[in-house]
A = this chain, B = another copy of it.
Amino acid sequence: MVKLAIDLMGSDLGPEELSKGLKDFLSETPDCQVEVFGDEKALQPLFAGADRVSIHPADTVVPMEVSPFEFLRKYRTSSMFLACQTAGKDTSIDGVVSSGSTGGFLTACHTLVGRIPGVVREGLAAPFITAKPGHQTLILDIGASNYCTAEELVCFARIGKIYASRVFHRTDPKVFLLSNGLEEGKGLKETVEAYQLLKGDPSFGGLSEARDALDGTKDVIVTTGYPGNIFLKGTEGTAELMMGMLKKAFTKNLRTKIGYLLAKPGLKEMKRNLDYRATGGAVLLGVKKVAVKSHGNSNAYAFLNAVRLAYNMVKAGLVKGLEEELAQR
């Protein structure tokens, strides 16, 4: 039985929307039970009679923008704090999921769940769709920190490799460093240093430019958090821009509108592939439990996928894999 701690508060659409996704997940996954955290009055009716759900009352909600200091000082009775604290303390719990504040979640996982021994920095990672159907590329760090050292980048590379092999089921996964050119010596100082540390590692594939990051030939791309975050949001913005242009192209006149109706089946598939809600959210790697941060504006479908992602990571034995890898030096 997989057991997950779920923070149901702090998202844009509220616990009712998230609970729908969670109940759908539970009905398709008989070997999973959840401990949900949040406003008891709101949650009781949502899960009345539900199987494999225990409700833990929490009387505050973490706001989207919160500093680590504020979080630890003011929100010790929040649903997010309690969910992560329980995940950290209760050995029977395998993972934690939240749609709330990213900053709060990073702090909570770091302090309450704790790092796997050997991890020098947790990495916030996201699986990206690529030009190769079914082939996702994991990119980390996408913003847990602005700056990272070369040693931290090397740690991300080791973490990413295990993710690719356990969760993506890749044999012999290759890890790349994001840079602004392909020649050795290109990039930030820490990229150049990390390159030297990774050189010779058979799983190191070299540098990748942002242009080729999603070409479907890479398993993992490692970057410091700030450019990683710019990359993530830049791709989201560009995808949105192009979808808008596409809509305009199809509504140009009657002829193009009919064209749209005919092409719709193919376009729907494309839209589904591009939907960030299908990937389930970002994962925080390097802590002692599986940790998924789903998008703040998650709907039921997105949250279902976030919980499914957490479940899949547990089933893949990701944390155990990381513990084994990081114990080696």
Interface residues in chain A, defined as those with a beta carbon under 8 Å from any beta carbon in chain B = 65, 130-131, 143, 146, 178, 180, 183, 187-188, 209-215, 226-227, 229-242, 244-246, 248-253, 255-256, 258-267, 269-270, 273-274
Instruction: Please list the 3 inter-chain residue pairs (A to B) with the smallest Cβ-Cβ separation, ordered nearest first.
Output: A259-B263, A259-B262, A249-B266
Residues of B within 8 A of A251 (CB): 266
> What CA separation (Å) do A183 and B260 show in the bound complex?
40
24 A–B contacts from the bound complex (CB under 8 Å): A130-B241, A131-B245, A143-B180, A178-B230, A180-B226, A210-B230, A210-B234, A210-B236, A213-B234, A214-B241, A227-B227, A234-B238, A235-B235, A245-B274, A246-B270, A249-B263, A252-B269, A253-B266, A255-B262, A255-B265, A256-B266, A258-B259, A259-B260, A259-B263
> What CA separation (Å) do A234 and B223 show in the bound complex?
13
> What CA separation (Å) do A143 and B230 show in the bound complex?
14
Report the minimum CB–CB distance from A71 to chain B (whole Å). Answer: 15
Report the minimum CB–CB distance from A257 to chain B (whole Å). Answer: 8
Residues of B within 8 A of A227 (CB): 226-227, 230
Instruction: Please determine whether A245 and B226 come into contact, CB atoms closer than 8 angstroms.
Output: no
Residues of B within 8 A of A263 (CB): 249-250, 255-256, 259-260, 263
Instruction: Please determine whether A233 and B262 come into contact, CB atoms closer than 8 angstroms.
Output: no
Which residue from B183, B188, B244, B266 sits with its C-beta under 8 Å from A146?
Answer: B188
Which residue from B178, B212, B239, B252 sits with its C-beta under 8 Å from A266?
Answer: B252
Instruction: Please determine whether A214 and B237 come into contact, CB atoms closer than 8 angstroms.
Output: yes
Report the minimum CB–CB distance from A150 to chain B (whole Å). Answer: 15
> What CA separation (Å) do A234 and B230 show in the bound complex?
9
Residues of B within 8 A of A258 (CB): 259, 262
Residue from A183, A258, A270 having most chain B Cβ neighbours under 10 A: A270
Instruction: Please determine whether A237 and B211 come into contact, CB atoms closer than 8 angstroms.
Output: yes
* Given A180-B229, A213-B234, 19 additional A-B pairs, CB 8 A: A131-B241, A210-B229, A211-B234, A211-B236, A214-B241, A215-B241, A231-B234, A235-B235, A238-B239, A238-B242, A245-B270, A245-B273, A246-B270, A252-B266, A252-B269, A255-B265, A256-B262, A256-B263, A262-B262
Report the minimum CB–CB distance from A250 to chain B (whole Å). Answer: 6
Residues of B within 8 A of A212 (CB): 237
Residues of B within 8 A of A143 (CB): 180
Instruction: Please determine whether B244 and A246 come into contact, CB atoms closer than 8 angstroms.
Output: no
